[in-house]
Structure 1
Amino acid sequence: MSRQVPTLSLHYLDSGVPEGNTHNPLPLVVVHGLLGSADNWRSHLKVWQASRRVIAVDLRNHGRSPHAKGMSYREMSEDVLALLEQLGIEKAHFLGHSMGGKVVISVARLAPQRVASLLVADIAPVAYSHGHDRVFAGLRRLEAGKPRNRREADELLAEHIEERAVRLFLATNLERNEGEGVLTLRIGLDEIMEGYPDLMQLPAGDQPYEGPTLILRGANSDYVTDDMLPATREMLPCTRVVTLKNAGHWLHAEQPEAFQEAVRVFLAAQPDSA
């Protein structure tokens, strides 16, 4: 597919092809959510890489990938497609959480021939209301406060964010600036905040993706409600929905074994699997 927008060279983790695997199933490409990174998926990658090659990407303005203006789903999905070309991957399974779910849906709609199947974790292909004001305020406070250690960073975040689990997740974006002796954010916060309205919108693309699709949702999450399913099936007509008990929006962190098993079972049912 010809590039419609300028792309960035994304950072990624690549497990490589498992040793002794003669079947050589299609790779699994994993895409994190807003303010996440490939690093958040390392424990899952260790499980899935036993049976297939797994590539986890850092989207633009996240993790170790470059910073640039533009957070539309077309721009982010084009970055991912450019990475596939760089790695010589013609076709893969795609797994995306939250914002990353909309990215992989966009990939599937823009280039369905590159997508063997789709796994979408706790997001629907609908427009959402804004809901990250406290998170952005906490991150801005973190920037201004110049914490010297993670305890100070947590105290700064706590001025705006009560939930400790959310603060711990956000703290994964900190790195030490050796020159100044403080912790700084590695994300492109300015670019993310400027592009935030685009993140609330529908995935990119004009056509439905008619390949096999699994939506995993948390029973305690309101990101994928039953009234969103008709619109979901218009865009993803071959969708099956699985609800994980005792899980919220971060279902892969809250119920990791159940999440890993649901992914394994779904992929095992696809034609490329042993």
Structure 2
Amino acid sequence: MSSVDLKALGHKYNGNIGMVRNSLMKEWDKTVPNPTMRAFLLTNLGEKDGEIFWKANLNAIKSCWNQITGFPTDLNGRVFNQPVLFVAASDGKYLGQSDLPAVRKYFPQSKIVQIANTGHWVHFDAPNTVTNLITSFMLDKSFDPTSFTDVTEIK
């Protein structure tokens, strides 16, 4: 997103945000192959007085990326000793085997599950499964993730 020259695109299309979106939908075809995902990302475009801009503060996200994506190491032995559900993607890379010891240490009552055929945005790839999984976890004291056909519990 940060590599897009929105000023040039805005000028090219006379500040017409719809035309800029259409142009990026085509331009990002290979980078973001899923058209629904492209459309979602492009909802972050804004327009004011003919100037096209990203609504998200990309510079802040970039400068704080390690804090955003990292696991806090300064918890000083604190433990959250209540049920917690971690939902991972089968094709994702953000909750891996190397993260499990820390998850178990800080959240000893955690359930860690993986949803089949999903990428990083599990809620986007499998919205019904995610909704049903979380609802079941919140409402059912004897929550059993193995009752879902496309969910695997990670022990």
Q: Does the pair score TM above 0.5?
A: yes
* Cα distance change of structure 1 residues 225 and 212 upon mapping to structure 2, 3 Å threshold: same
* Cα distance change of structure 1 residues 236 and 155 upon mapping to structure 2, 3 Å threshold: same
The corresponding residue for 1:254 is: 125
Instruction: Kindly provide the amino acid, as one letter, of the partner of residue 2 in structure 2.
Output: L
Deviations 1:238-263 (A, max 9, x none): 11112111111111111111110001
Matches of 1:196 and 1:261, distance apart in 2: 31
Gaps of 5+ in 2: 11-15, 142-155
The corresponding residue for 2:88 is: 217
Name the SS for the 2:92 alignment partner. Answer: coil
Overall identity of the aligned pairs, in %: 20
Matches of 2:133 and 2:33, distance apart in 1: 27
Matches of 2:125 and 2:5, distance apart in 1: 26
Gaps of 5+ in 1: 1-137
Deviations 1:63-109 (A, max 9, x none): xxxxxxxxxxxxxxxxxxxxxxxxxxxxxxxxxxxxxxxxxxxxxxx
Structure number with higher helix proportion: 2
Equivalent residue in structure 2 for 1:208, among 79, 82, 94: 79
Q: CA deviation at 1:142?
A: 4.1
Matches of 2:117 and 2:86, distance apart in 1: 16
The corresponding residue for 2:103 is: 232
Query: Structure 1 length normalisation: TM-score?
Result: 0.42
Matches of 1:142 and 1:172, distance apart in 2: 17
Higher CA-based Rg = 2
Would the aligned equivalents of 2:7 and 2:52 in 1 still touch at CA under 8 Å?
A: no
Name the SS for the 1:162 alignment partner. Answer: coil
The corresponding residue for 1:145 is: 8
Would the aligned equivalents of 1:142 and 1:153 in 2 still touch at CA under 8 Å?
A: no
RMSD between aligned residues: 2.4
Equivalent residue in structure 2 for 1:245, among 109, 112, 116: 116
Matches of 2:116 and 2:66, distance apart in 1: 31
Name the SS for the 1:140 alignment partner. Answer: coil
Query: Structure 2 length normalisation: TM-score?
Result: 0.70
Name the SS for the 2:4 alignment partner. Answer: helix
